[in-house]
Amino acid sequence: MKTTKRTAIGVTLIVLIGLTSWGLTGALEEQKYIDLGKDEYNKGNYDAAIYLFNKAIELNPDNGYLYNDRGLCYMALGEIDTAISDFSKAIELGPDCVEAYYNRGLAHFKQGSWGNEGPFDLAIADYSKVTELKSDYADAYYNRGLAYNQLFHYYSKPFAPEVTEKYNNAIADFDKVLELDPTYVLAHAGKGNAYYRNGEYDNATAEFDKALESMALILQKVGGKGLAGVYASRARNYKEVPEIHKSISDYEQARAFDPKLMAAIGGEASSNYELMKEYGKAVELYDAYIDILENDPDYRDYEWGYYAYKGRSVCCYELGRYDEAIEDFQTLIDKYESYLEPLAHRYLGMVYEEKGDEDNAKQNFEKAVELYSEQINSTPDSSGLYNDRGLCYLGLGEYDSAISDFEKVIELEPNYVDAHSGKNLYIEAHKNLGIAYSETGDKEKARECFEEGLRLANEQGLEETAKEIEELFP
C-alpha cells in the first residue's frame, strides 16, 4: 500500500523534530505494526492486518494514514460502511490525503447500483477532490469516468441536459486518462461503455476494439478478470446492433478468462441462445451459472441470482421440460424476493395449463394478476407490466380486462425492438389484442389488430413475429 511509505516518512519527521510524545521506541514500535499489517494485507489476511493497524492506532491515533490503511482492509472484507468511516477519519486528520479521498471514492462506488445512484455522486465528488489535489492522477479520472457512466443509459432517452452533461463528462475523463497515459487502454473500454450507454453502438465497438488490441496491457494491469470484463462489455454492445454470433463469441472469451463472470453475465450470455431459439444451449449456460451460485461461497448470497433460475425455467418451459421449469420457478419464488415473482407465477400458470392442471393454472394466474397490480400501482407508466398482466387475464379467460391492458400497452409503449428479447412490445400488444378480440367473437376487430401488427412487423423486418401473426388470422 502506497500509504505505508508515507506513514513511515511522517513518523521519521516527527522523531527528528522532537514532537513525539512516545519517543523513538514508540515510533519504531508503531512502524513495526505498520509493516506487519501491510504484510498481512498483501497476503489477504485482512482480519490480522486490522488487528495490527489497531495496535499502531493505539500508539498514534492522530496518524490519518493508519485509518486509510485499515479502511482498505475493511473494504477488502466487504465492510464498506466501516471502510468509509475510516477513510473519512483519515481525511479529517489529513485533508490533503489523496489516497483516502481516492479509496473512499472506490468504497462509495461499490455501494451504488441501479436505482441507488447517490453513492456514484459521492464517488464523483471524492475523485474530483483527488484530481484537484493531484491533477495527473490517471486512476482518479478513469474511476470518475466509470462513476459518470452509471448515471445515464439509453433506456431513459431523451436525456435531460444535466444527464447529457454526465455523458460528456465521462467521455472527457476517459480522454484525459489517455492524454496522461496512452498505454492506459482500459480507458478505451470505459469510453466504449459510455458510447454504449448513450446508444452509439458503432463508436462503442471501435473503442472496445482499441482496448482489445492491447490485451497484454490489460492483463498486466487488471489480469484475466479485467480482460473478461472488456470482452463481456463488447459482447453486450454487439447484442444491441444486433450481431448475435459476435456477441456469443465474446461472451465465450469472457468465460474463458474468468469462469466466475457467469455470475454477472450468465443471463446476458444465455439469452443470446434464447433469441436464436436454441434453448438447449441456453440451458447449458444457465446450468454453469447456477452451479456457481450454489457451490461457490462467494456467490451463494448473490442478490441477482434469481435471473439464473428465471432464465433456465423459461427455457425449460419452451423445451417442454415442465417439471424442471416448475422446480426452478418455485426456487425463484421461495429463495429470492424480487420483482420477477409475478412473472414466475404467470409462467407457472402457463406450465400447469400445458400439463392440463386447470386448478393450479388458475391459482397461479390469479396470484400473478395480484402481484402485477401491486407493481402497476407503484409504477403506473410501465407498459411491460400491463402487457404481462394482460397475458394473465388471457389465461384466466377475462378478455375484457386483457383488452384494456393491451390497449394501455399501445398507449404507453414506444415502437422499438428490445435487443434482449428481440421483440417489439408495441407490436406484441396488437397481436395480443387480436387474440383477445378473437376469443370474444369479434372477428372484425381481431382482424384489424392482426393487420396492423403484421404491417408493423413487416415494416421492421420482424419475420418471426410476422409469421406468428399470419398464423393467427381468423
pLDDT in tens, 385-419: 999 999 999 999 999 999 999 999 999 988 877 76
Q: Which long-range contacts (CB under 8 A, 24 or more apart) does 408-416 make?
A: 408/383, 409/383, 412/381, 412/382, 412/383, 412/386, 413/383, 413/387, 415/456
Tell me what pLDDT residue 115 has.
Answer: 80
Residue 227: alpha-carbon gap to chain centroid: 17
Per-residue model confidence (pLDDT) at position 145: 98
463 vs 413: CA distance, rounded Å = 21
Torsional sign, CA 234, 235, 239, 241: positive
The three cell numbers locating residue 78? 466487504
Q: Is the CB of residue 401 less than 8 Å from the CB of residue 393?
A: yes
Tell me how far apart the alpha carbons of residues 327 and 317 are, in angstroms, rounded to a whole number.
Answer: 11
For residue 158, say if its preceding peptide bond is cis, omega within 30 degrees of 0: yes
Determine the Cα–Cα distance for residues 416 and 257; give it in Å rounded to an integer. Answer: 34
pLDDT at 418: 75
Residue 26 has a pLDDT of: 54
DSSP assignment of 112-166, as one string?
Answer: -BTTB-HHHHHHHHHHHHHHHH-TT-HHHHHHHHHHHHTT--GGGPSPPHHHHHH
Q: What is the pLDDT of residue 16?
A: 28
What is d(CA 211, CA 188) in angstroms, rounded to the nearest whole number?
5
* AA letter at 229: G
Long-range contacts for 22-31 (Cβ within 8 Å, ≥24 apart)?
Answer: 22/59, 22/60, 26/59, 26/60, 29/59, 30/56, 30/59, 30/60, 30/63, 31/7
Which residues does the chain have with pLDDT short of 50?
1-23
Hey, what amino acid is at 52? L
How is the chain split among helix, strand and coil, in percent rounded to 5? 80, 0, 20
Burial of 47 (0-12, 13-18, 19+ CB in 10 A): exposed
Q: Give the chain's domains with CATH numbers.
A: 1-94 (1.25.40.10)
**pLDDT given at position 25:** 54
pLDDT at res. 101 = 97
Dist. CA 194–CA 281, nearest whole Å:
31
Give, for 374, the enclosing helix (H) or strand (E).
Answer: helix 358-378
pLDDT at 20: 36
For residue 421, the model assigns a pLDDT of 73
| pLDDT at residue 333, rounded to an integer | 94
Q: What percent of the chain has pLDDT over 70?
A: 93
Statement: the pTM of the whole predicted model exceeds 0.75: yes
For the residues of 52-75, what is the DSSP string, one character each?
HHHHHHHH-TT-HHHHHHHHHHHH
Distances (CA, A) of 358 to 42, 65, 349, 404: 61, 67, 9, 24
